Amino acid sequence: MTSELCIDAPQHIIHLLRKLHDLSAEQEAKLKGNATRFVSTDVLGPGAPNKDSNFDDLMRDKFIALDEDKCHFVYQLIRATGATNVIEAGTSFGVSTIYLALAVAENKKRLGDQSRPGVIATENEPEKATRARQHWKECGPVVEKEIDLREGNLLETLSKDVEDGVDLLLLDIWTPLALPTLKLIQPKLTPQAVVLSDNVTMAASGYQEFFEYIKAPNSGFRTLTLPYLGGFEMTIYDPKEQQS
């Protein structure tokens, strides 16, 4: 085991993560030239239905992995909060999912918890799901056994068999799906659960309805934008702040 990069993981996983982040960054640079970031709102208007755009075609062979520094933050947050029940909306080739699985596995090990996988991952594109599974296999059982990958539209695959007590929801998904996904999972969130959303500043127009919802008076959420590239939102679910 090594703690290089703040991550407790065997060397082969650290090397794989480095390689995958590099490949993702190379692809993104080609997609957007010199711009800092390529986001779904570049192609999708706010609220545009995912299926009617060419965005999926363009993204089918792209990683668009969560940035490495954000992955490190999410890993540390999961370790610090002791989260054992995590959902990822948008898995792609499974890069961020590796961090989620590693962190949850450490928390479960500490608790002697051998139960069901602690990470529900979601991916619409069959080819991407296959690549993700290959990457997790390369990592080995510590990662593989911790992930329940739901293939298909997450608004369907997450509508059943999600147990109560979700500690953390990572929204790394096309912006029109952020709010519907939050609303779907909200009844399952544990008090003080964390919801993380990527590129909220860069893709602000796509997140408009999401923010109207979480910032509404008595929404049950508190939120702040962390100063990562593109903005990374950390939202806490605190139902005592919610009025019926």
Ligand X SMILES: C[S@@+](CC[C@H](N)C(=O)[O-])C[C@H]1O[C@@H](n2cnc3c(N)ncnc32)[C@H](O)[C@@H]1O
Q: Which residues bind ligand X (CB under 6 A)?
A: 50, 59, 63-66, 90-93, 95-96, 122-125, 128, 153-154, 172-174, 177
Q: Distance (Å, rounded) from C-alpha 131 to C-alpha 137?
A: 10
14-19 LR contacts (CB < 8 Å, sep 24+): 16/98, 16/135, 16/138, 16/139, 17/68, 17/71, 17/95, 17/98, 17/99
Q: How far is the CB of 151 from ligand X (least distance, A)?
A: 8
- Dihedral, 203, 89, 17, 79 alpha carbons, nearest 10: 100
Assigned token pair, 141: 């059982």
Q: Which is nearer to ligand X, 84 or 92 (CB)?
A: 92
Report the C-alpha gap between 187 and 185 in whole angstroms: 6
| 136/221 with CB nearer ligand X | 136
CB of 236 to ligand X, least distance (A): 21
Q: Within 13 Å, how many C-alpha atoms sit on residue 147's CB side?
A: 32
The rounded distance, in Å, linking the Cα atoms of 10 and 14 is 7
Minimum separation from the CB atom of position 214 to ligand X (A): 20
Q: How far is the CB of 127 from ligand X (least distance, A)?
A: 9
Which residue, 44 or 189, has its beta carbon nearer to ligand X? 44
Residue 87 or 189 having the CB closest to ligand X: 87
Q: Are 98 and 121 in contact (CB under 8 A)?
A: no
Phi/psi for 119 (5° steps) reads -125, 125
Compute the least distance from the CB of residue 64 to ligand X, in Å: 4
